Structure formats: C-alpha cells, structure tokens
Amino acid sequence: MDEGRDADVRLVRFLLGDLPEEERRAIEHECFRVDGAAFAEILALEDELRFAYLQNRLTADERRAFDERHLRTLSDRARLAFARALTRVADARALTSDLPKRTGG
C-alpha cells in the first residue's frame, strides 16, 4: 500500500472511531494547523465515507461504526440525506445519458 493510501485508511479509521487514543489525538492536533489541510482532507474523506455507506461498500463493522458516529444527530442525518439526493441525481443523469438521442425529422 502506498503512503497516501495508508494515510487515507488511517483517517477513515479515525472517522469510524477505530484508532488508539494517541493516534486520535495526533490527528485532532493536525486539524488545528494553520493551513487547514488535514481538516479539509478529513471533511473530504467523511463525504466519501457517506457515499460508500450509501453504496453498501462498507463492511458490517464499518457500517455499525458509521451508524454510531455519523447518524447520531439531525445534522448528521441531513448530511446523509443530501448525499443520497446527490447520488439519485447522478444516477438519473447517467440513465438519461445512456438513452439514444432523438433526431429531428
């Protein structure tokens, strides 16, 4: 696995609450850096995690952890609903783009 992939896996584990306390604190500390890069990366991975959840690409343990950590509040559920709506729009557009084009006549 390459270094970037390892970092993503580590951050996903962070988002699912599956890291030792010391690693979790280190990531939280990184989020407060001035450039904000770590925080932005975590937000992006959190969105990817939502889509993976909706597309049933998480293991049973990951789904359980996601449910516990990312569906607790109304705000959490609203973010998931938004991701679901985006997925539906993208799916609908993909279906209509596959239809044969009408020719005038």
pLDDT of res. 102: 64
Q: What is the mean pLDDT of residues 53-77?
A: 96
Q: What is residue 93's predicted lDDT score, i.e. its pLDDT?
A: 83
CB atoms within 10 A of CB 83: 17
- Domain residue spans in the chain? 3-97
Q: pLDDT tens, 69-103?
A: 999 999 999 999 999 999 999 888 887 776 666 66
Average pLDDT on 36-58 reads 94
Residue 15 has pLDDT above 90, yes or no: yes
Q: For residue 87, with 0-12 CB atoms within 10 Å meaning exposed, 13-18 middle and 19 or more buried, which class applies?
A: middle
Mean pLDDT of the chain: 89
15-47 burial code (b ≥16 CB/10 A, e <16): bbeebeeeeeeebeeeeeeeeeebeeebeebee
CA distances from 52 to 45, 55, 87 (A): 10, 5, 11
Say yes or no to pLDDT of 42 above 90.
yes
What is the pLDDT, as a whole number, of residue 92?
Answer: 85
What integer pLDDT is reported at residue 7 of this predicted model? Answer: 83
Query: Are 83 and 54 in contact, with CB atoms under 8 Å apart?
Result: yes
pLDDT average, residue stretch 13-34: 94
Task: Decide if 44 contacts 57 (C-beta within 8 A).
Answer: no
